[in-house]
């Protein structure tokens, strides 16, 4: 990790020299608290908001996260009898035992009608306001696209189910045929008879390079004047190194059920210490709805929300989760 951080620091210097400086001058002499965050959002002081997202923002859509002890994806993978749950997403294991990933894919995609969540639409709202610099996501569910976020404003660092290829020779294969094999429980293999490698989607496995779009959009992270980390404990490298690209004095906010300090997979980040850091504990959608309300953006938000996500004011107040007093800062 040390060499990667060194490389990132070198890139930061290069980007600072070559990128147009779009950062907003914002009074950062005060300790970041929830009220200051809201003030910055409402006033438009934050003009280049970078958002890092993980599985937590899709949980309310019916997609489990990875690391929850009882209902997370890794917990459910115990019934697969794998050497370890992560093997289902490991390239070397897939080459020898593609059945496990095909079974996972069938279960993951069986409710193909997953809808984008209020948190996704909040990111869309920031886009509409011209405040979104980039949304870097670890998710492979394509809900950013369903929410109407422009392709140039998000990056699926860990790939997606939007294309398929042979895992051995990289030959592009038919996505619909891959999906058909997944549904039938059979393995789709490379059409090159000299290869016959198992076919996989462009989901990034352990042992593979990240989506090429990741490197292209990395410089945008460095230009942040506000960093929002939503629904992730930042436990997976190299994605979890992205906050290191942001200047130390840049306001950085974690919105998640658990602190990165207590993440089961471990984390190198602490959002509970430092004047520029803020941890808001709660369910992503509940926190986001509160932020929208406190910013006075509810009317604009309702215009882009689908009917399924619209709730009365009373229902919102009764919803479980975040209250303004739950923002944690030290």
Catalytic annotation, residues: 158
The answer to whether the annotation marks 71 as part of a ligand binding site is: no
What is the widest separation between alpha-carbon atoms in the chain?
65
Instruction: Please report the DSSP string for 226-267 in residue order.
Output: EEEEES----STTGGGGGGGS-TTSEEEEEESS-GGG-TT--
Q: Which residues of 129-160 are buried (b: 16+ CB within 10 A; e: fewer)?
A: eebbbbbbbbbbbebbbbbebeeebbbbbbbb
How many other C-beta atoms lie within 10 A of the C-beta of residue 300?
Answer: 14
Using CA atoms, how far apart are residues 51 and 154, in angstroms rounded to an integer? 9
The answer to whether the annotation marks 167 as part of a ligand binding site is: no
Q: Are 223 and 19 in contact (CB under 8 A)?
A: yes
134, β-bridge pairs? 50
Instruction: Please report the DSSP string for 144-161 in residue order.
Output: HHHTT--GGGEEETT--S
Stated length of the chain: 330
Using CA atoms, how far apart are residues 141 and 158, in angstroms rounded to an integer? 10
Pick the closest to residue 234 from 56, 105, 93, 75 (CA basis).
56
How many other C-beta atoms lie within 10 A of the C-beta of residue 262?
Answer: 10
Q: Are 46 and 131 in contact (CB under 8 A)?
A: yes
Q: Are 82 and 88 in contact (CB under 8 A)?
A: yes
- Classify burial at 315, counting beta carbons within 10 Å of its beta carbon; exposed 0-12, middle 13-18, buried 19 or more: exposed
The answer to whether the annotation marks 295 as part of a ligand binding site is: no
Where is the binding site, in residues? 166, 169, 190, 195
Where is the binding site for Zn(2+), in residues? 166, 169, 190, 195
């Amino acid at each position: 990790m040390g060499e990667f951080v060194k490389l990132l620091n070198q890139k930061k210097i290069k980007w600072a020299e070559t990128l147009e400086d779009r950062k907003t001058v914002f009074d950062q002499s005060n300790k970041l608290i929830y009220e200051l965050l809201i003030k910055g959002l409402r006033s438009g002081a934050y003009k280049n908001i970078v958002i890092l997202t993980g599985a937590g923002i899709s949980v309310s859509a019916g997609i489990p996260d990875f690391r929850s002890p009882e209902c997370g994806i890794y917990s459910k993978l115990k019934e697969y009898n794998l050497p370890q749950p992560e093997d289902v997403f490991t390239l070397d294991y897939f080459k020898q035992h593609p059945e496990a990933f095909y079974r996972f894919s069938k279960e993951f995609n069986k409710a193909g009608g997953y809808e984008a969540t209020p948190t996704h639409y909040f990111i869309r709202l920031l886009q509409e306001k011209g405040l979104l610099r980039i949304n870097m996501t670890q998710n492979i569910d394509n809900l950013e696209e369903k929410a109407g976020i422009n392709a140039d404003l998000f990056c699926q660092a860990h790939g997606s189910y939007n294309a398929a290829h042979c895992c051995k020779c990289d030959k592009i294969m038919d996505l619909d045929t891959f999906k058909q094999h997944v549904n039938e429980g059979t393995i789709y293999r490379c059409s090159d008879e000299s290869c016959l490698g198992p076919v996989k989607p462009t989901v990034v496995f352990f042992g593979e390079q990240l989506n090429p779009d990741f490197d292209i959009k990395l410089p945008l992270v460095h230009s942040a004047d506000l960093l929002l980390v939503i629904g992730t404990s930042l436990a997976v490298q190299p994605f979890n190194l992205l906050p290191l690209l942001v200047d130390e004095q840049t306001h950085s906010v974690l919105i998640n059920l658990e602190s990165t300090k207590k993440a089961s997979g471990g984390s190198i980040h602490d959002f509970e210490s430092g004047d520029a850091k803020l941890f808001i504990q709660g369910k992503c959608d509940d926190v986001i709805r509160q932020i929208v309300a406190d910013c006075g953006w509810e009317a604009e938000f309702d215009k882009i929300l689908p009917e399924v996500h619209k709730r009365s004011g009373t229902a919102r107040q009764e919803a479980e989760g975040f209250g303004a007093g739950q923002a944690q800062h030290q």
